[in-house]
């Protein structure tokens, strides 16, 4: 296994108390595989990724438990210097907002070339040449001329491609993409996702795709982990989950997508709001919004039940949910 997150716990100290942003998350990605981590804001999907990358702000964040095994080594046991050497080289991250992730006062060519200087000991001239190659690779027209341009001189889609170029520069084994296309228009999103998929196939990278978009997930993922209030509530191969979700939250998300046959009718809507992480409801965190909730849900935290060999659901009544959801 390329990456294995085991029972990860991350807390944040806030004015309102301790927020358990990540509360026992486990997931795994293999080389060449795409895992989609699906969740709304505050579900803990980005915090988990930041912990894996080692870029979590501590304080206020704190990893209070768990293991992050990358190529067999526990990252949490490494010194900062060792982790820094892994970042960019063996594991890389693509952020949502390329404009704030790129340095605005440095030409993009320098930012791409820097990776080769720092990690590969390349000369400045070599680095420049590699930067042009990379920009060409992500289909930036006129790469040789544009290598001296600054981030603001590129369009949003092109900046995102430059960030992909930076992430893939050293051919890392693992890439984490945090909402890589959320800020982009659909036609540009299609370009970027297409490029990412192509490069992933070519380099056989493991990809963790963090998103809230059920459409994007269906398009590219092999597996899905659905997160809610800091926990994984359902984890399954992509085809299974869309066919029959085994958790009422997943089902609610899928049912609230507008469908043709329901046009003009009321959309299914999950009632209520996602919880405040400093005051997560007892028992199952989803119970106040769940149409299936019963007494046990208010008191007992559901473990991740094994639905099938490759599939888990953190719902006491996953069997019912699965039967209801056959569609």
Partner 1 sequence: MTANGEPILEVEGLVKHYPLTRGVLFKKQIGAVRAVDGVDFALGRGETLGIVGESGCGKSTVARLLCSLERPTAGSVRFKGEDITRLSGRALKAVRRNIQMVFQDPYTSLNPRMTVGDIVGEPYEIHPEAAPKGDRRRRVRELLDVVGLDPDYVNRYPHQFSGGQRQRIGIARGLALRPEVIVADEPVSALDVSVQAQVINLLARLQTEFDLSYVFIAHDLSIVRHISDRIAVMYLGRIVETGRDAEIYDHPTHPYTQALLSAVPVPDPDARERRERIILGGDVPSPTDIPSGCRFRTRCWKARERCALEVPALAVPDVFREGGGPAAHDSACHFAEERRVVPPEDPGGPEAPQATVNGNGPG
Q: How many residues does the chain have?
A: 327
Asked whether position 213 contacts partner 1 by CB under 8 A, the answer is yes
Give the shortest CB-2-to-partner 1 separation in angstroms. 22
- Contact letters for partner 1, residues 245-284 (x by CB under 8 A): -------xxx-xxxxxxxxx-xxxxxx-xx----------
Among 141, 279, 295, 309, binds partner 1 (CB under 8 A): 141
User: According to the 3-state scheme, what is the secondary structure of 98-159?
Assistant: HHHHCCCCCCHHHHHHHHHHHHHCCCHHHHHHHHHHHHHHCCCCCHHHHCCCCHHHCCHHHH
**Cβ contacts of 286 within 8 Å, gap of 6 or more:** 228, 229, 233, 248, 249, 293
Among 73, 148, 239, 327, binds partner 1 (CB under 8 A): 239
Q: Which is nearer to partner 1, 48 or 189 (CB)?
A: 189
d(CA 66, CA 47): 14
Q: Which of residues 170-209 bind partner 1 (CB under 8 A)?
A: 185-191, 193-194
Q: Any long-range contacts for 134-138 (C-beta under 8 Å, 24+ apart)?
A: 134/165, 134/166, 134/168, 134/169, 135/108, 135/109, 135/162, 135/165, 137/165, 137/199, 138/162, 138/164, 138/165, 138/195
Give the shortest CB-193-to-partner 1 separation in angstroms. 8
Q: Which is nearer to partner 1, 142 or 303 (CB)?
A: 142
Instruction: Provide the token pair at 48.
Output: 């988990």
Distance of CA 186 to the CA centre of its chain: 19
- Contact letters for partner 1, residues 41-60 (x by CB under 8 A): x-------------------
Q: Which is nearer to partner 1, 106 or 257 (CB)?
A: 257
Q: Which of residues 67-96 bind partner 1 (CB under 8 A)?
A: none
Asked whether position 15 contacts partner 1 by CB under 8 A, the answer is no
Among 7, 73, 106, 215, binds partner 1 (CB under 8 A): 215
> Which positions touch partner 1 (CB under 8 A)?
40-41, 141, 155-158, 185-191, 193-194, 212-219, 221, 238-239, 242, 252-254, 256-264, 266-271, 273-274, 289
């Amino acid at each position: 296994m390329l990456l294995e997150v085991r029972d990860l716990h991350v807390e944040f100290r806030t004015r309102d108390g301790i927020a358990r942003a990540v509360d026992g998350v486990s997931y795994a990605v293999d080389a060449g595989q795409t895992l989609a981590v699906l969740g709304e804001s505050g579900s803990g999907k980005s915090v988990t990724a930041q912990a894996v990358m080692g870029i979590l702000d501590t304080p206020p964040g704190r990893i209070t438990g768990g293991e992050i095994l990358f190529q067999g080594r526990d990252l949490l046991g490494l010194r900062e210097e060792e982790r820094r050497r892994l970042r960019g080289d063996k594991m890389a991250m693509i952020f949502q907002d390329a404009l704030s992730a790129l340095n605005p006062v440095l030409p993009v060519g320098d930012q791409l070339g820097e990776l080769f200087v720092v990690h590969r000991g390349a000369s400045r001239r070599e680095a420049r040449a590699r930067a042009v190659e990379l920009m060409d690779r992500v289909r930036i027209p006129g790469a040789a001329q544009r290598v001296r341009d600054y981030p603001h001189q590129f369009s949003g889609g092109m900046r995102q491609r430059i960030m992909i170029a930076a992430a893939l520069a050293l051919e890392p084994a693992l890439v984490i993409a945090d909402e890589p296309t959320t800020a982009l228009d659909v036609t540009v999103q299609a370009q970027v996702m297409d490029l990412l998929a192509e490069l992933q196939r070519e380099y056989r990278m493991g990809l963790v795709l963090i998103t809230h978009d059920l459409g994007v997930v269906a398009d590219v993922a092999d597996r899905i982990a659905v997160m809610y209030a800091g926990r994984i509530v359902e984890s399954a191969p992509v085809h299974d989950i869309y066919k029959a979700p085994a958790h009422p939250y997943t089902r609610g998300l899928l049912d609230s997508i507008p469908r043709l046959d329901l046009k003009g009718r009321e959309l299914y809507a999950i009632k209520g709001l996602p919880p405040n992480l400093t005051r997560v409801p007892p028992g199952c965190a989803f119970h106040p919004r769940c149409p299936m909730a019963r007494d046990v849900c208010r008191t007992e935290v559901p473990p991740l039940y094994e639905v099938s060999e490759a599939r888990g659901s953190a719902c006491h009544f996953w069997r019912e949910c699965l039967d209801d959801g056959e569609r």
